[in-house]
């Protein structure tokens, strides 16, 4: 079983932070910092730990932010010397976000400096929220920075719906101000950066589907394989929902002339087991059809209603008059993101976003 993520912030890391700060600040109360930062840490989750360490920095660094920023900057790894790095910089970026809003340019420069050692995507968001125009004027220049971590910060930190982070309501309402950043990075040589662009566009698609579908259509012509992969990943929510413009961007026409027969092989599924089903697709058209085949499992909720979750299956071209038979096994076991309830469930087949077949099954619990 993997180590819980929260354990990445631990007492030994706090001791190391204390040593690095003490090297740069002779007045640093190292023992007090360790005591405050470590208090009951094993009982705290990841972000609670980060905030507690941040608060310990607030209590032990100088009140003068410019002085505190200089200490933290000097505590970063310099040349081959060790310094504060990795997950220890999560509370550092939160310290900057809390104490540095009155020192806008200095704070953004410090966050840019620390991000090659650990992302500052959480730290820059309060600055965007406080003064979006001013923040984006600086962040926009990072899209051409030689360091790929800084380029990624320009896209990841401006994501309207960044997980675990404060949302950016103004950009959720109107994402146009960040589109130039995303456009500038569409062909970034680093996959690490391109994945961030795709995720940001997918965020935007949840509030502005037509905008993202049009953006993808505008930038897919003559695109490299890497850009096409980015745009496909950016369109994943739209494709799952059967958005006709998004489907057309990737050559998927409406699924007329395609017949589907679904067989549910396990009509009763024991929790911990798997749902097995098979599908027969026939192209009754006179021309080949490009097909995106997905399936949706409609899970039982606590109130007895069903809620669908779409899963990717396969994309292919089916020749005229041909029949394709496919089989699938879908695990029904404990995961952290879903609570399962016994009772009636349903599975449906989606071809190019349209439901073409479905069948029912029952989930039983141990």
User: Could you give the CA distance from residue 252 to residue 250 in angstroms, rounded to a whole number?
Assistant: 6
pLDDT of residue 21 exceeding 80? yes
How do residues 274-317 score in pLDDT, each as one tens digit? Answer: 999 999 999 999 999 999 999 999 999 999 999 999 999 999 99
CB crowding 327-364: b at 16 or more within 10 Å, else e: ebeeebeeeeeeebeeeebbbbbbbbbebbbbbebebe
Confidence of residue 240 (pLDDT cuts 50, 70, 90): confident
Res 245: pLDDT = 95
Q: Which residue has the higher pLDDT, 80 or 194?
A: 194
Please say if the pLDDT value at position 232 is more than 70. yes
What are the sequence ranges of the domains in the chain? 258-364
Quote the pLDDT of residue 82.
84
- Structure confidence at residue 113 (pLDDT): 96
When pLDDT is cut at 50, 70 and 90, the band that residue 241 belongs to is confident
Tell me phi and psi for residue 267, to 5 degrees: -75, -20
Kindly indicate the confidence band of residue 2, based on its pLDDT and cuts at 50, 70 and 90.
Answer: low
pLDDT tens-digit map of 128-183? 999 999 999 999 999 999 999 999 999 999 999 999 889 999 999 999 999 999 99
Is a pLDDT exceeding 60 seen at residue 337?
yes
The residue among 62 and 366 whose pLDDT is bigger is 62
pLDDT at 220: 96
Beta bridge partners of 316: 291
Do the Cβ atoms of 312 and 294 come closer than 8 Å?
Answer: yes
Residue range 65-93: average pLDDT?
92
279 in Cβ contact with 260 (< 8 Å):
yes
Q: Are strands 289-300 and 268-270 parallel, antiparallel or unpaired?
A: unpaired
Asked whether 196 and 152 are in contact (CB, 8 A), the reply is yes
Q: What is the mean pLDDT of residues 220-249?
A: 94
What's residue 22's pLDDT?
96
Query: How would you classify residue 2: left for phi > 0, otherwise alpha for psi between -120 and 50, otherwise beta?
Result: beta
Q: In the prediction, which pLDDT does 242 show?
A: 86
- pLDDT for 176 equals 97
Euclidean distance between CA atoms 6 and 267, whole angstroms: 40
Query: Which architecture, in CATH terms, is 258-364?
Result: Sandwich (2.60)
Query: pTM for the full model?
Result: 0.83
Residue 336 reports pLDDT greater than 90: no
CB-based contact 249:217 (threshold 8 Å)? yes
| pLDDT of residue 265 exceeding 70 | yes
Of the pLDDT bands very low, low, confident and very high (cuts 50, 70, 90), residue 3 is confident
Give the residue among 180, 98, 90 at the shortest CA–CA distance from 144: 180
Q: What's the mean per-residue pLDDT of the chain?
A: 95
């Amino acid at each position: 079983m993997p180590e819980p993520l929260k354990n990445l912030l631990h007492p030994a890391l706090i001791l190391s932070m204390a040593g690095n700060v003490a090297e740069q600040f002779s007045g640093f109360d190292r023992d007090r910092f360790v005591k405050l930062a470590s208090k009951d840490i094993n009982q705290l989750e990841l972000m609670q730990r980060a905030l507690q360490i941040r608060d310990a920095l607030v209590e032990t660094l100088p009140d003068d932010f410019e002085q505190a920023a200089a200490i933290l900057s000097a505590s970063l790894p310099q040349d081959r010397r060790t310094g504060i790095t990795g997950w220890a910089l999560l509370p550092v970026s939160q310290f900057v976000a809390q104490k540095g809003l009155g020192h806008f340019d200095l704070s953004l420069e410090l966050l840019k400096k620390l991000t090659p050692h650990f992302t500052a995507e959480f730290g820059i968001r309060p600055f965007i929220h406080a003064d979006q125009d001013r923040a984006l004027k600086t962040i926009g220049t990072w899209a051409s920075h030689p360091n790929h971590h800084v380029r990624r910060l320009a896209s990841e930190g401006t994501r309207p719906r960044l997980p675990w982070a404060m949302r950016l309501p103004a950009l959720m309402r109107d994402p146009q101000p960040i589109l130039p950043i995303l456009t500038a990075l569409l062909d970034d040589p680093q996959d690490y950066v391109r994945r961030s662009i795709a995720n940001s566009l997918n965020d935007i698609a949840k509030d502005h589907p037509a905008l993202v579908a049009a953006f993808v259509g505008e930038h897919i012509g003559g695109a490299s394989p890497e850009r096409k992969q980015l745009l496909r990943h950016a369109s994943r929510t739209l494709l799952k929902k059967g958005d006709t413009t998004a489907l057309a961007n990737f050559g998927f026409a409406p699924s007329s002339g395609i017949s589907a027969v679904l067989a549910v092989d396990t009509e009763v599924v024991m929790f911990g087991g798997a749902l097995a089903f098979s599908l027969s697709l026939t192209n009754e058209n006179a021309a080949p059809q490009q097909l995106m085949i997905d399936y949706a499992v409609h899970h039982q909720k606590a109130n007895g209603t069903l809620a669908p979750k779409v899963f990717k299956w396969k994309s292919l071209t089916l020749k005229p008059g041909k029949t394709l038979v496919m089989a699938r096994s879908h695990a029904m076991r404990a995961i952290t993101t879903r609570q399962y309830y016994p009772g009636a469930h349903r599975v449906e087949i989606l071809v190019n976003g349209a439901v073409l077949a479905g069948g029912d099954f029952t989930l039983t619990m141990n």
